[in-house]
Structure 1
Amino acid sequence: MKTRSISEIMTKQVHFIDINDQVISARDLMDKYEIHHLPVLESGKLVGMISSNDLKQVQYLCDFIGERLEESTIFKSLSIEELMTENVHSLTSNATIKEAAQVFSHMSFQSLPILENDELVGIVTTKDVFAAFLEA
């Protein structure tokens, strides 16, 4: 297992969002493709990640104040930059599955963008790593 490359299990067709897009666009992309993590790019470079948990926090706030999410002034006024996680940990495609598992075991996030020369080339999730270990 330790010599298998992360490139064998990563998703190569990565859905992402631009930092200047609307938060509702992130929610729509996640719903459409049934995904939980979106890398955030600015001028083609990774600057953050936004997750379905980030969006759920906004949903809970809207529920608490009695507003529908899509009609909420809070939701409409939030930017991707305000909601995203910055300083995202990433790996390169030549990292091993074991290295990804070690990162996940020490951190609280569930996905890792995969970069080559600062370009987003993939994404791997805890689910991908777990499945790889079960295959072995």
Structure 2
Amino acid sequence: MTQVRDLMTPMPQTIGFDISVEKALEMMQEYACHHLPVLNGGKLVGVLSDRDLSMARHDSSNAKTEHLVGDLMSDEPIVIEPSAEINTAIRIMLNNKINSLIVKAEANQPWGILTSTDLLRYVVEKT
């Protein structure tokens, strides 16, 4: 069976919780990604998605307010073991209506991120 570690992106780009939303958008465009794990002092504190940014842009009540990543991020990222089977990851994403999971670090291996894009790429390559 294919495991999360086989499809995850190791050591993904990250962003600080106190960085501007504009900088986050620039980073997502530069690195062609849709999710940025959010760190505070090197500790994972959330995940910022392009959907979070899009909702903030369309929220007229916040149009004139300068946002920081910490204002918009999901502050309870779901963490999965790298040894988990892909079907487990898919179920977690579907049940929580999310498009990424943070992958826990293993001994001598970096932590990572698994996204719905990774899963779709896997399905296409299998067919």
Q: Which range, TM-score by smaller chain?
A: 0.7 to 0.9
Q: TM-score, normalised by structure 2?
A: 0.84
Asked if the contact 1:113/1:120 (under 8 Å) is kept, the reply is no
Q: Which runs of 4+ in 1 moved over 3 A?
A: none
Q: Compute the displacement of 1:120 (Å).
A: 6.4
After TM superposition, the score normalised by the length of structure 1 is 0.79
Q: Distance in 2 between matches of 1:60 and 1:120?
A: 36
Total equivalences in the alignment: 123
Q: Output the CA distance in 2 between the equivalents of 1:108 and 1:86.
A: 15
User: For the Cα contact (< 8 Å) 1:12–1:123, is it kept in 2?
Assistant: yes
| Stretches of structure 1 lacking an aligned partner (at least 5 in a row) | 66-71
Instruction: Specify the code of the residue in structure 1 equivalent to 2:33.
Output: I
2:116 to 112, 116, 126: 126
How large is the Cα RMSD of the aligned pairs? 2.1
Residues in 2 aligned to 1:13 and 1:42: alpha-carbon distance in whole angstroms: 16
Aligned to 1:6: 4
Q: CA deviation at 1:59?
A: 1.8
Tell me which of 23, 28, 41 is aligned to 2:21. Answer: 23
Select the structure of larger CA radius of gyration: 1
Q: Which residue of structure 1 aligns with residue 90 of structure 2? A: 101
Distance 1:29 1:58, change over 3 A: same
Name the CA distance, whole Å, in 1 between partners of 2:123 and 2:94: 14
Match of 1:35 in 2: 33
How much has 1:7 moved relative to structure 2? Answer: 0.9
Q: SS of the residue aligned with 2:121?
A: helix
Partner of 1:88: 77
Per the TM alignment, residue 131 of structure 1 is displaced from its structure 2 partner at its CA by: 2.7
Unaligned runs of 5+ in 2: none
Kept after mapping to 1: 8 A contact 2:8/2:118: yes
